A and B are shown apart, each in its own frame.
Chain A
Amino acid sequence: MARIEFQDQSAVVIIGSGAGGGTLAHELTRRGMKVVVLEAGKRQSTATFSQVPGEAFLQLTWLDARTQSGDWGVTKNFPTLPVWHCKTVGGTTVHWTAATPRFEPWELRARSTYGKVPGTSLIDWPISHEELKTYYLLAERRLGVTRRNDVPGLPASNNFKVMYAGAKKLGYKRVHTGHMAINSRANDGRGMCIQQGFCVQGCKMGAKWSTLYTDIPRAEATGNLDLRIECMATRIEHDAGGRVNAVIYRDGKGREQRQKARIVCIAGNGIETPRLLLLSDSSKFPHGLANSAGQVGRNYCHQIIGFVWGIFDKPVYSWRGATLAGVIEDEVKNDPSRGFVGGYRMELVTLDLPTLPLVGLPYGWGRDFASIMENYRNLAGMIINGEDMPRAENRITLNRDVKDAYGLPVANVHVDEHANDQAMRKHAQSQMSRVYDSIGAKRVVLGPTPPATHNTCSARMSADPREGVTNAWGQTHDIKNLFISDGSAMTTSGSANPTLTIVALALRQAEYVSREMKAHKI
């Protein structure tokens, strides 16, 4: 591994090592660039992942304080945990459930497709689907996505059989075990899925793709990566001309360090990325970096997520098998006759016994609550994954009343649901209930919106600099050598789980950064 000097002004500094940061680090180091990755978390491995759900949660989750406001259910149900992502090398690719669908072409043209939707800040992506597809193909090969490039699908689990039978009864056509970044056969030096059902705790087989054991070690092997763990970026500095030139961070011993940089790329997930931009205010940029249009932190999207459980009179044993390996895609369409714009997926889901009552079930206690738990063996599960509407006031801000361990204001997450969001959730819950009812469910239980895992759009790409934070390559409109390299840069949420798109955009950004550096434009 490289040791890059603090004073080395040629370094590219990447903040975060997940789907965006880890991919970008690998792509830049293999092209010969010197890269420092600042990762706030520790480094785990397939050997150290805990197999006790509560411990695994503490081992991997970003638990630094956040506050929240707004009317979405998370504020009430999970007051201290608005979002659920990772703080560990590999970022959220360590606990993700590996569903890797693509955006539909019309989803990238959200504003044009949906028309004017009052109370939203919808815009079109500055990238065509044709162009993005090139990078989807690269990303799918890289991640070994099932049902692409002749990679077979994952075999159907019990939980999927239930969903499938109901979906077919309803006449749904596009129902299968999903496009998953989980090996259905050994590939790329990683083993095949043995259906453990512990995707969220970190895959001890390494069958599920994560930058932790693919891109990060490969970047290290180039000799060009200086990975600094337990290093929390707290501020980005700039020179008199407004170019960023250094990152201030706290190292594992709490010491403040300053790393000079030629280019800075932020990939800290949808909450920390805008927070860092806002924390880096200066006399030249009084509202934070890349924020001349006032767009940093705004338009935060989290997708429409919610559990639906079917209780049957026979066992399902839903915990056996890959957590999310199944999907119904028929509702991924824009059909306003349903009462809303945009589409949603119905995806398979299961939760381990300790986690189900904490995250998966509606608030409750007493006989009714206990009767659901009594049926744990007979429970089948699905989760909604739908497009939510961007709103200018749904935003990440600094809460100056609450400070983190470094004395810095924490992020506040504000979400008010749009009527479109509510209509979509209601439709999805109704359809998913019908899926289970059609094959004789004794009861269907509608779960809550869990803490958000798909945090996107909070520093979005836009063709018009007044409507977003970056251009089509994640390069900030205001500062040429400052990049956004994670889901924050997505323009809209779409109905696809975001990771494949984040990887595709990172691959595309790596080409651009390399080209622009060679041309001495940045």
Chain B
Amino acid sequence: MDRLVTLNRRELLKTTTGLLTGWVIAGSPLALIAPAPAWAVDLTAFTSAEGTTLMSIARTIAPHDKLDDAAYALVIQAVDGDAAKDPNTRKMIGEGLAALGAGFAASSESERVEALKKIESSAFFQTMRLKTLQVLYSSPIAYAYFGYEGEAFSKGGYLFRGFNDLRWLPEVAAEDSGPLPAGA
């Protein structure tokens, strides 16, 4: 979130070509960790309209209805960064977006799925799919949403924090398990 809100606004003075903004959904896991109720991502390779279509593509690839737009905006930020660095990537994605048309983001989910299925083998779609999977599930927003607790070394591992707290199945026989330290 720091990356999303602060860092980007600081870089606003640089040339920006577009902007994605949104509100954090009240009561969502993100609301608990977000530093501000609104977020914004500056685009340096794509226009705001292109950014909106990219957001819609990411949401169609990995549709989690209750996951904040901010999580998807991180994907677009990464795609935008790649495109800003490499003109060929910019061109490939720009052409892919143009082929989908301006109405893509406003169309129904079934229409969007159908449109993406037609281009499933294209470099454009595969780039978007991979980037979506790589970025979407790596952010603190996603960790909070999916309930993933991440690294545990800094908290002493899960030994005393629920690694064996499952109670809806029988316990494992002692000879097939191993000793626990007191308190675990």
Are A and B co-members of a single complex? yes
Verify if B161 is at the interface (C-beta below 8 Å from A).
yes
Q: Check if A196 sits within 8 Å of B178, measured CB to CB.
A: no
Q: Which 6 A-B pairs have the closest CB atoms?
A: A194-B157, A153-B178, A51-B151, A320-B158, A158-B166, A353-B148
Residues of B close to A314: CB separation below 8 A: 166, 168
Smallest beta-carbon distance A66→chain B, Å:
18
- Contact of A320 with B163 at beta-carbon distance under 8 Å, contacts A153-B177, A439-B169 already known: yes
Beta-carbon contacts of B150-184 to A below 8 Å, as 1s and 0s?
Answer: 11111011110111111011111001111111001
Q: Check if B151 sits within 8 Å of A320, measured CB to CB.
A: no
Verify if B8 is at the interface (C-beta below 8 Å from A).
no
Q: Which secondary structure characterizes the binding site on chain A? A: loop
Q: In A181-207, which residues have CB < 8 Å from any B CB? A: 184-185, 192-198, 201, 204-205
Q: Check if A157 sits within 8 Å of B164, measured CB to CB.
A: yes
Beta-carbon contacts of A464-487 to B below 8 Å, as 1s and 0s?
Answer: 000000000000000000000000
Verify if A165 is at the interface (C-beta below 8 Å from B).
yes
Q: Check if B158 sits within 8 Å of A358, measured CB to CB.
A: no
- Contact of A158 with B163 at beta-carbon distance under 8 Å, contacts A314-B168, A358-B134 already known: yes
Q: In B45-59, which residues have CB < 8 Å from any A CB? A: none
Partner of A156, one of B60, B164, B168, B181: B164
Can you give 12 A-B contacts (C-beta < 8 A)? A51-B151, A155-B177, A164-B176, A177-B176, A177-B178, A193-B157, A193-B159, A195-B158, A353-B138, A366-B61, A370-B63, A376-B146
Q: In A127-156, which residues have CB < 8 Å from any B CB? A: 146, 152-156
Partner of A184, one of B152, B154, B166, B178: B178
Q: Check if B180 sits within 8 Å of A196, measured CB to CB.
A: no
Q: Check if B176 sits within 8 Å of A367, measured CB to CB.
A: no
What is the bound-complex CA distance between A317 and B153, given in angstroms? 17
Q: Check if B177 sits within 8 Å of A177, measured CB to CB.
A: yes
Q: Check if A374 sits within 8 Å of B64, measured CB to CB.
A: yes
Residues of A close to B123: CB separation below 8 A: none
- Contact of A158 with B165 at beta-carbon distance under 8 Å, contacts A164-B172, A365-B129, A374-B64 already known: yes
Q: Check if B177 sits within 8 Å of A376, measured CB to CB.
A: no
- Contact of A366 with B166 at beta-carbon distance under 8 Å, contacts A196-B158, A205-B153, A320-B152 already known: no
Q: Check if A373 sits within 8 Å of B146, measured CB to CB.
A: yes
Verify if B32 is at the interface (C-beta below 8 Å from A).
no
Q: Check if A165 sits within 8 Å of B179, measured CB to CB.
A: no
Q: Check if B162 sits within 8 Å of A320, measured CB to CB.
A: yes
Additional 6 contacts, C-beta under 8 A, given A153-B177, A184-B178, A353-B146 = A162-B169, A184-B179, A194-B152, A196-B153, A317-B165, A321-B164
Residues of B close to A205: CB separation below 8 A: 153, 157
Verify if B119 is at the interface (C-beta below 8 Å from A).
no
Q: Check if A321 sits within 8 Å of B158, measured CB to CB.
A: yes
What is the bound-complex CA distance between A370 and B166, given in angstroms? 25
Max chain B C-beta neighbours (<10 A), residue from A154, A162, A356, A357: A357
Q: Check if B176 sits within 8 Å of A353, measured CB to CB.
A: no
Verify if B27 is at the interface (C-beta below 8 Å from A).
no
Residues of A close to B103: CB separation below 8 A: none
Q: Check if B148 sits within 8 Å of A319, measured CB to CB.
A: yes
- Contact of A194 with B156 at beta-carbon distance under 8 Å, contacts A177-B178, A314-B168, A373-B64 already known: yes
Partner of B62, one of A51, A146, A165, A365: A365
Q: Check if A196 sits within 8 Å of B152, measured CB to CB.
A: yes
Q: Check if A160 sits within 8 Å of B153, measured CB to CB.
A: no
Smallest beta-carbon distance B40→chain A, Å:
24
Partner of A195, one of B151, B163, B177: B163
Smallest beta-carbon distance B115→chain A, Å:
12
Verify if B43 is at the interface (C-beta below 8 Å from A).
no
What is the bound-complex CA distance between A201 and B151, given in angstroms? 10
Verify if B124 is at the interface (C-beta below 8 Å from A).
no
A55 nearest CB neighbor, chain B only: B138
Beta-carbon contacts of B23-51 to A below 8 Å, as 1s and 0s?
Answer: 00000000000000000000000000000
What is the bound-complex CA distance between A447 and B60, given in angstroms? 22
Max chain A C-beta neighbours (<10 A), residue from B63, B133, B169, B178: B178
What is the bound-complex CA distance between A353 and B162, given in angstroms? 18
Partner of B164, one of A161, A185, A198: A161
Smallest beta-carbon distance A111→chain B, Å:
34
- Contact of A353 with B129 at beta-carbon distance under 8 Å, contacts A196-B151, A320-B149, A366-B61 already known: no
Smallest beta-carbon distance A84→chain B, Å:
16
Verify if B73 is at the interface (C-beta below 8 Å from A).
no
Smallest beta-carbon distance B162→chain A, Å:
6
Partner of A366, one of B63, B146, B165, B179: B63
Q: In A307-345, which residues have CB < 8 Å from any B CB? A: 314-317, 319-321
B129 nearest CB neighbor, chain A only: A365
A176 nearest CB neighbor, chain B only: B176
Q: Check if B179 sits within 8 Å of A152, measured CB to CB.
A: yes
Verify if A54 is at the interface (C-beta below 8 Å from B).
yes
Smallest beta-carbon distance B65→chain A, Å:
9
What is the bound-complex CA distance between A377 and B60, given in angstroms? 22
- Contact of A155 with B184 at beta-carbon distance under 8 Å, contacts A164-B176, A196-B153 already known: yes
Verify if B75 is at the interface (C-beta below 8 Å from A).
no
A174 nearest CB neighbor, chain B only: B176
Smallest beta-carbon distance B138→chain A, Å:
4
Verify if A175 is at the interface (C-beta below 8 Å from B).
yes
- Contact of A358 with B60 at beta-carbon distance under 8 Å, contacts A161-B172, A321-B163 already known: no
Verify if A281 is at the interface (C-beta below 8 Å from B).
no
What is the bound-complex CA distance between A211 and B62, given in angstroms? 40
